[in-house]
């Protein structure tokens, strides 16, 4: 499937989110990191901000929930109109039910795995999801260094997805830049979240183009 670039507004100016969205018209999705200061040691934004952003941009919102109780909150993001809603395997208590509720509300359902969480125990969930998100840093903050140790898991996940046969996105998130994106693409990822590499650049739209061309090589 074609490469998708999903700039993360975590690295943008939170007082100017509409402008941050408008700065990347060539992006495919806009990545929104929801953090609750419990699942991760950082606090960002929630449903009201997502609802406002939905009115401010036509880019599909790619909502990544780093929260302790995704079963309770995830369906509301899908109902609000998010393009995708991703929950963490480490946090969900009823992932099958929650993923089905996300899909029933019309969003892509995503499952995220932290760097140290293996993919094999979740193989049976592949039929319930539209996207697998592999964290390539410990979740919580932008601007961290890409963890090469996740590359074998990206490869393994690609094999499992191909064997499964469904149309499933494989997303990587954390430390993705023009220097690391090629490794991820070679290993089989096709959706690339980038915070610092896009919003830390002088020209965010140009940064999106660069990422897309390096990933597509
Ligand atoms: C980290 C978030 C990422 C973050 C990535 O927990 O899930 O989406 O914004 O930022 P960079 O690309 O700067 O590592
Ligand atoms: Zn994220």
pLDDT tens string, the chain, 217 residues long: the values are 799 999 999 999 999 999 999 999 999 999 999 999 999 999 999 999 999 999 999 999 999 999 999 999 999 999 999 999 999 999 999 999 999 999 999 999 999 999 999 999 999 999 999 999 999 999 999 999 999 999 999 999 999 999 998 789 999 999 999 999 999 999 999 999 999 999 999 999 999 999 999 999 7
- The total number of structural domains in the chain stands at 1
The answer to whether the annotation marks 8 as part of a ligand binding site is: yes
Domain CATH for 128? 3.20.20.70
Give me ligand 1 centre to Cα 23, in Å.
18
Ligand 1 site, residue 144, Cβ cutoff 6 A = yes
The answer to whether the annotation marks 143 as part of a ligand binding site is: yes
Question: Which tokens belong to 213?
Answer: 């061309």
**ipTM reported for the complex, 2 dp:** 0.99
| Distance, CA of 38 to CA of 49 (rounded, Å) | 19
- Residues contacting 90, CB < 8 A, separation 6+: 39, 113, 114, 117
Told to judge if 173 belongs to the known catalytic residues of this protein, a careful annotator would answer yes
Domain that holds residue 132: 4-215
Half-sphere exposure of 194 (CA within 13 A, CB side): 30
pTM for this predicted structure? 0.98
Ligand 1 site, residue 194, Cβ cutoff 6 A = yes
């Amino acid at each position: 499937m074609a490469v998708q670039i999903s700039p993360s507004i975590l690295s943008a100016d939170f007082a100017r989110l509409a402008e941050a969205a408008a700065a990347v018209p060539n992006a495919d999705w806009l990545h929104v990191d929801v953090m609750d200061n419990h699942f991760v040691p950082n606090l960002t934004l929630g449903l009201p901000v997502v609802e406002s952003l939905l009115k401010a941009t036509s880019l599909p919102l790619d909502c990544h929930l780093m929260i302790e109780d995704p079963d309770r909150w995830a369906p509301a993001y899908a109902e609000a109109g998010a393009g995708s809603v991703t929950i963490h395997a480490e946090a969900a208590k009823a992932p099958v039910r929650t993923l089905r509720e996300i899909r029933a509300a019309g969003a892509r359902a995503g499952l995220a795995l932290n760097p140290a969480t293996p993919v094999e125990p979740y193989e049976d969930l592949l039929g319930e999801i539209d996207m697998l998100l592999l964290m390539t840093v410990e979740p919580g903050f932008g601007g961290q260094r890409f963890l090469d140790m996740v590359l074998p898991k990206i490869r393994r996940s690609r094999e499992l997805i191909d064997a499964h046969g469904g149309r499933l996105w494989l997303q990587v998130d954390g430390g993705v830049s023009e220097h690391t994106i090629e490794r991820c693409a070679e290993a089989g990822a096709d959706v690339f979240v980038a915070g610092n590499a896009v919003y830390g650049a002088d020209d965010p739209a140009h940064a999106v183009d660069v990422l897309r061309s390096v990933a597509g090589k």
